């Protein structure tokens, strides 16, 4: 029979950001938080999703006012919930697989154009977390380990004693704030590159200006970071995670960036170069002198395998953006291929950040790192981060950040069960 979903509901709230948050050449000033509610015959699960249309499908974002693009994603989430009402399921991954074909047709009608699979998965994050919560409650699961499918257990077999926090340095983050991050003990900086200096375009003069800006930005950050040492990397140096979000147009331009990094002494500090090209650009990157990783271009097993064949050596897992269900499968595929992976953020709220930590704590450390790592930047960007923390599940106490890392002890691993406890998001459905 499986678990029967008796009723579904949906709410949302617009969360403002402290300052414009720039990437992919554009910027955000708010992030919509949708909240999915699923009721079985015996339990209720409530879970949020952070919508990021700019990240998941920049074309949809660019063709519409930001609020309209967010409303489009909200409609896709609502459609998924209407499809689930009155159905039964055995496990969440099968549910997500079953929803995607119809949701793709529906989303393309709503958006008036083809949409990326990441757009659909982003819309399903809250639904997926609620499904996993129902699954845990119905089956008496008492830890995050109890959710991991047998096929993914090898890929998530680590138990780190600490996770290095990866903060985000977007276009507008000023030098004093970067210095403050370094003073706090940060060992791996995620740096947004690919800024649109004169509008989002691929004109040669605009791309040259973008490259010049990226080189100057990397030099600025490297001059600051090179003054610091850290016990959490194998070299003792602060490392860089460059995120281009598909903004580069050619291999030669990426090589020019890396040549400049080499001249300034920063090349060996680059742990990852993420998504240099648009997903449709299938250029081989295996000969570049840095580890290139995929993000938006990898949202299914087939994508992971394709990217690895193109010379990508790592993939950014996003349980909080591509669903936990899909991330289990991706971790398995990367493990089998001998690649690297990490849990990246989507500027999510504290609740989803805890799902990300539980996933990240079980993944192998990146090459060059002595500890595990997880990207968390919501505390840097949300106006009401402290209020959002009050919505965490009952009894869940986040590990405090100490000298740039989250210490993880047995209580952290036991707290995985708290993800399934009632949380403050239920208040949105109070009558």
Mean pLDDT of 267-271: 98
Give dist(CA 89, CA 82) in Å, integer: 15
Give residue-wise pLDDT tens across range 146-158.
Answer: 999 999 999 999 9
* Segments forming the whole domain that contains residue 110: 3-142
Domain boundary among 142, 168, 197: 142
Q: Is the pLDDT of residue 350 over 80?
A: yes
Q: How confident is the model at residue 322 (pLDDT cuts 50, 70, 90)?
A: very high
Mean pLDDT of 261-288: 96
| Whether residues 204 and 107 fall in one domain | no
Number of structural domains (the chain) is 2
| Whether residues 190 and 104 fall in one domain | no
Q: How confident is the model at residue 349 (pLDDT cuts 50, 70, 90)?
A: very high
Residue with tokens 């690895």: 308
Mean pLDDT rounded to a whole number for the chain: 95
Q: Is the pTM of this model over 0.85?
A: yes
* 3-state SS, residue 366: coil
| Whether residues 138 and 158 fall in one domain | no
With contact defined as beta carbons under 8 Å apart, do 43 and 138 qualify? yes
Q: What is the CATH number of the domain that holds 192?
A: 3.20.20.120
| Whether residues 40 and 170 fall in one domain | no
Give dist(CA 101, CA 89) in Å, integer: 17
Mean pLDDT of 274-296: 95
Q: Which of 168, 126, 164, 190 is nearest to 325 (CA)?
A: 126
Q: Which of 35, 29, 160 is nearest to 426 (CA)?
A: 35
| Whether residues 123 and 252 fall in one domain | no
With contact defined as beta carbons under 8 Å apart, do 382 and 21 qualify? no
Q: How confident is the model at residue 302 (pLDDT cuts 50, 70, 90)?
A: confident
Q: What is the CATH number of the domain that holds 61?
A: 3.30.390.10
Q: Is the pLDDT of residue 201 over 80?
A: no
List CB contacts of 73: < 8 A, sequence separation 6 or more. Answer: 32, 34, 51, 53, 56, 119, 122, 123
Cα angle 27, 29, 32; round to 5: 110
| Whether residues 48 and 172 fall in one domain | no
| Whether residues 46 and 85 fall in one domain | yes
Give dist(CA 138, CA 231) in Å, integer: 43
| Whether residues 29 and 157 fall in one domain | no
| Whether residues 333 and 293 fall in one domain | yes
* 3-state SS, residue 112: coil
Give the burial class of 411: count Cβ atoms within 10 A of its Cβ; 0-12 exposed, 13-18 middle, 19 or more buried. exposed
């Amino acid at each position: 029979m499986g678990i029967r979903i008796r009723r579904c509901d949906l709410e949302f709230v617009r969360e403002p950001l402290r300052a414009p948050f720039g990437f992919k050449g554009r910027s955000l000033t708010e992030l919509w938080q949708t909240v999915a509610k699923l009721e079985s015959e015996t339990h209720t699960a409530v879970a949020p999703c952070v919508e990021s249309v700019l990240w998941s499908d920049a074309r949809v974002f660019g063709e519409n006012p930001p609020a309209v693009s967010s409303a489009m994603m909200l409609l896709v989430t609502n459609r998924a919930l209407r499809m689930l009402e009155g159905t039964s399921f055995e496990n969440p991954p099968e549910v997500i697989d079953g929803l995607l074909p119809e949701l793709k047709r529906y989303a393309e009608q709503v958006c008036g154009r083809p949409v990326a699979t990441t757009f659909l998965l982003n819309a399903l994050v809250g639904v997926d977390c609620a499904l996993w919560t129902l699954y845990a409650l119905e089956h008496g699961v008492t830890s995050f380990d109890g959710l991991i499918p047998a096929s993914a257990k090898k890929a998530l077999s680590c138990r780190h004693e600490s996770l290095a926090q990866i903060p985000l340095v977007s276009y507008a983050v000023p030098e004093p704030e970067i210095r403050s991050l370094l003073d706090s003990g940060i060992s791996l900086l995620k740096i947004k590159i690919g800024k649109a200096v004169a509008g989002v375009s691929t004109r040669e003069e605009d791309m040259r200006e973008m490259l010049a800006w990226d080189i100057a930005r990397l030099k600025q950050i490297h001059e600051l970071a090179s003054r610091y040492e850290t016990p959490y990397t194998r070299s003792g140096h602060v490392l860089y995670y460059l995120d281009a979000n598909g903004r580069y147009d050619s291999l030669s331009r990426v090589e020019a960036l890396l040549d400049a990094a080499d001249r300034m002494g920063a090349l060996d500090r680059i742990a990852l170069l993420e998504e240099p090209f648009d997903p449709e650009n299938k250029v081989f990157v295996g000969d570049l002198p840095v580890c290139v990783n995929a993000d938006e271009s990898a949202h299914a097993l087939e994508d992971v395998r394709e990217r690895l064949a193109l010379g990508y050596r790592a993939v950014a897992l996003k349980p909080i953006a591509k669903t936990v269900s899909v991330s289990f499968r991706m971790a398995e595929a990367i493990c089998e291929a001998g690649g690297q992976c990490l849990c990246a953020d989507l500027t999510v709220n504290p609740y989803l950040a805890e799902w990300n930590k539980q996933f990240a704590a079980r993944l192998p450390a990146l090459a060059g790192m002595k500890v595990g790592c997880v990207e968390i930047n919501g505390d840097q960007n949300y106006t009401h981060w402290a209020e959002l923390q009050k919505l965490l599940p009952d009894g869940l106490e986040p590990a405090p950040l100490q000298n740039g890392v989250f210490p993880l002890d047995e209580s952290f691993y036991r707290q995985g069960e708290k993800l399934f406890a009632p949380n403050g998001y239920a208040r949105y459905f109070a009558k």
